[in-house]
Structure 1
Amino acid sequence: MRHPKKTRLLPLFPSILLLGLALSRLSLAQRGQPIKTIVVLVLENRSFDHMLGWMKRSINPNINGVTGRECNPVSTNKTDPGMICFTDDAEFVDPDPGHSFEAVQQQVFGSGTVPTMTGFVEQALTMSQDLSETVMKGFRPESVPVYATLASEFAVFDRWFSSIPGPTQPNRLFVYSATSHGSTSHVKKLLAKGFPQKTIFDSLHENGMNFGIYYQNVPNTLFYRNLRKLKYILKFHQYDLKFKKDARDGKLPSLTVIEPRYFDLKGMPGNDDHPSHDVANGQKLVKEVYETLRGSPQWNETLLIITYDEHGGFYDHVETPYVNVPNPDGNTGPAPYFFKFDRLGVRVPTIMVSPWIKKGTEMHGLARLKRL
């Protein structure tokens, strides 16, 4: 692939800071920086090791992936437990592994008080005997060929953690508002009412900048109460009708959000990667988004962020950060845990794509974009 003049990517950040990234990038764009359009695609419920871990072996040895020596005990309480080790034969996943707040607590801490990432098998066994091996499998690069290509050509982030050690919706709330407003689980009443916090969309609107949400069956972003306001109604577009046209016409907004298909429809299977959806459909979506952007006149000013909301219960070997993680808003989670939002969740796959990114970049820490 050909690239124009590039920037250097210095070590990056967890997903809680996506809000700051987008605002700073778009602000700098007004002062002559190259990135003027940020496209965000957040998929569902897969860990870094599960999707990208084996790319260390054949794509880039500098990626903090797996070696095949990573194992989990059947029980974290026994002195001589059996072990299940991580393999490269992941396939279609059904049923869905555990990823509630309680499940993640067990996966990360086991029977201890510091993150050891040794409780995945033990937690899976509380749900199903079959899941104990499922959570300890990752995809070979050839099984996720779109990611294999993007990882070799652009940037992989191997220290990008979900915002909280819990399920989908609280983590998705963090992506565009840097808070879940105290939520650590799926509370249907709160989701129906809508969460009240200010979002990046509000900030962009206040600063005279544009955004657009391209959805496939339902826009998850409507769980933010503010986005239900009449003034934002024209910001929502059906993906199949509008995304390719806007990209072709060079009219993608400054912040472009792609919402995947969260549910199976007749002839249109879910493509969000959430088990039991086939990751092949997620790969098709990523490929389509990438190729659409490559063909757009906006390509040379675009940054595509592909990431996941949380790990979905799948094993990852990198210890979850739990020291000096700031509470974003002073909220505390509900009983019985009264979570202080002072530690992150499990590591998730994140790839960034732009003609300004050096080929084969791997990011291991906290960072910013910088011109050479």
Structure 2
Amino acid sequence: MPIKHWIVIMMENRSFDHLLGYLKKLNSQIDGLTGDESNLYNPADPNSKRVFVNFNSPDVDPNAGHSVQATTQQIFGSSTENKNFPPPMSGFVASAEGMSAGWGPEVLSCFNSTSLSVLSSLAMEFALFDHWFASVPGPTEINRAYLHSCSSHGLGDNDPTKLAEGIPGKTIFTSIGDAGYDWKIYYELLPAALFMQELREYPENFHTLWDFYDDCEAGTLPTYSFIEPRYYTLDSDLLANDQHPSHEISQGELFLKKMYEAVRASPQWNQTALILTYDEHGGYYDHVPTPLDIPNPDGLNSTDPAFNFTRIGIRIPTVIISPWVPKGTLVNKGSGPTPTSEFEHSSIAATLKKVLNLPKFLTKRDEWASTFESVFSLSEPRTDCPATLPDPYPFNLQKPNQHEQPIHELQHNLLLMAQALTGNKDDISPTITEREAGLFVEKQMKEWQTQAKALQENKVFL
């Protein structure tokens, strides 16, 4: 295996069809959109108005429903799970309209190769996975837990109290560390990885994004790197770049361009794999039925909402980037280790276990998940990989002052988690803005690391 350095970037809340469904027009083998896909306003009424997909999505989109309940409606066309396969994927418009009138057509609006120049280039240049699913048909924090731990340990929604306390369980980071490999988490402002309780014991492994650029340039990347975008807009020059609606998609494109170009210029490029994925679909349409009858990872179920973790989420974009990947690689369904195995976020831990000879799986989920080491199939690294990527498409839309907007659920949960890290008891204003919240969590992160360093020095002194 030529890969010695593994980098994962997880962006926010976009489905495969929403971002990359148009690629079928460029490569008919990709399981994308024909333009004939649609949803009814009322899936139970065949005479209700029908909405078709389009390829003219605006840069700013609604923050549509993506809880377990909302996603169940989007998949099955009603709030009741139906085990008949395949699921119709018929409830996206109804779910969105139930949140806000007029959102229905927007969740069927998709991007194109012009408006997504960076992601399009990466998808066509390296390995595109068109059957990679979110781990859970539910929200951000739960799916990120599966990326790190291959389980949410029974948590089925974004419970602020439980998230502030931390999700228990062993993570892929400490599995790697226990085997003698190094790892780092790079972030801007505050990393969502700290929702994982175990990772709060390793403050020295958290580094700013500027450290990532330095490590790329110096050739000192660790075995495993996890990169988190900026989740808050601080001002007109420091915009959120996580692509979480309604943050600008173009800012995320610029972020991905910078990440790729830093890795591409690194002396470690020929030993590196960069994995780009998204946490979940964000309420946006995808036509591929979600797999059912998936193994529960650890026997733990959610009671509110009631969910047993035996089906996975909606398809999301995933691209694996490396000079060892043949240009234009397309990966469809996984080929094992079981007849029902699929690519989902636990595939990353499963692959790392395999290539690094880690002693144990984290849960039954990564034991089941498909692995992707076979994409690094060339006998020698490519020399034609682009050194730079196209500039993001300039949408030039008149946008509100995003830094003055109220915070959404993920931002709120990050804020409460930041308080828990330092023991901060400040009352949080219900009208706190993105800028105020972003500056607050950044301050708490710095304070937490200072406290941890002082505690460690005190232990050494004693």
Higher relative contact order at CA 8 Å, sep ≥6: structure 1 or structure 2? Answer: 1
> Does the alignment pair 1:154 with 2:126?
yes
Q: Aligned partners of 2:169, 2:244: CA distance in 1, in Å?
A: 26
SS in 1 for 2:285: coil
Match of 1:368 in 2: 372
Correspondent of 2:111 among 109, 128, 139? 139
Correspondent of 2:192 among 188, 203, 220? 220
Match of 1:283 in 2: 253
Q: Aligned partners of 1:202, 1:54: CA distance in 2, in Å?
A: 39
SS in 2 for 1:271: coil
Match of 1:196 in 2: 168
Q: Aligned partners of 2:282, 2:205: CA distance in 1, in Å?
A: 30
Match of 2:289 in 1: 319
Q: Aligned partners of 2:305, 2:182: CA distance in 1, in Å?
A: 41
Correspondent of 1:271 among 217, 241, 258? 241
Report how many residues are paired.
Answer: 334
Kindly report which structure 2 residues correspond to 1:99-138, keeping only aligned pairs within 5 A, or say none: 99-111=66-78, 113=82, 114=84, 115-138=87-110
Check whether the contact 1:303–1:354 (CA below 8 A) recurs between aligned residues. Answer: yes
* Unpaired segments ≥5 residues, structure 2: 335-370, 379-462
Correspondent of 1:333 among 285, 302, 309? 302
Match of 2:20 in 1: 52
Correspondent of 1:69 among 17, 29, 36? 36
**What are the Cα deviations for residues 302-331 of structure 1, in whole angstroms up to 9, with x where unaligned?**
1100000000000000000013x1111111
Cα drift, residue 92 of structure 1: 2.5
Q: Aligned partners of 1:103, 1:303: CA distance in 2, in Å?
A: 34
Q: Aligned partners of 1:289, 1:226: CA distance in 2, in Å?
A: 27
* Unpaired segments ≥5 residues, structure 1: 1-32
Match of 1:35 in 2: 3
Match of 2:262 in 1: 292
Match of 2:339 in 1: none
SS in 1 for 2:303: coil
Match of 1:244 in 2: 213
SS in 1 for 2:275: strand
Check whether the contact 1:176–1:201 (CA below 8 A) recurs between aligned residues. Answer: yes
Q: Aligned partners of 1:290, 1:302: CA distance in 2, in Å?
A: 11
TM norm structure 2: 0.71
Counterpart AA for 1:237: H
Q: Aligned partners of 2:285, 2:229: CA distance in 1, in Å?
A: 24
% of aligned pairs identical?
45
Check whether the contact 2:113–2:120 (CA below 8 A) recurs between aligned residues. Answer: yes
Cα drift, residue 184 of structure 1: 1.1
TM norm structure 1: 0.88
Check whether the contact 2:68–2:305 (CA below 8 A) recurs between aligned residues. Answer: no
Aligned alpha-carbon RMSD (Å): 1.2
Kindly report which structure 2 residues correspond to 1:9-24, keeping only aligned pairs within 5 A, or say none: none
Check whether the contact 1:69–1:86 (CA below 8 A) recurs between aligned residues. Answer: yes
Higher helix share: 2
Match of 1:182 in 2: 154
Check whether the contact 1:42–1:307 (CA below 8 A) recurs between aligned residues. Answer: yes
Q: Closer, same or farther in 2 for the Cα pair 1:179/1:168, shift >3 Å?
A: same
Match of 2:314 in 1: 346
Counterpart AA for 2:183: F
Q: Aligned partners of 2:28, 2:245: CA distance in 1, in Å?
A: 28
SS in 1 for 2:93: helix
Structure 1 residue ranges, 4+ long, deviating more than 4 angstroms after superposition:
none
Counterpart AA for 2:199: L
Counterpart AA for 2:234: L
Match of 1:23 in 2: none
Check whether the contact 2:11–2:229 (CA below 8 A) recurs between aligned residues. Answer: yes
Check whether the contact 1:272–1:282 (CA below 8 A) recurs between aligned residues. Answer: yes
Check whether the contact 1:93–1:134 (CA below 8 A) recurs between aligned residues. Answer: no
Q: Aligned partners of 2:178, 2:148: CA distance in 1, in Å?
A: 15
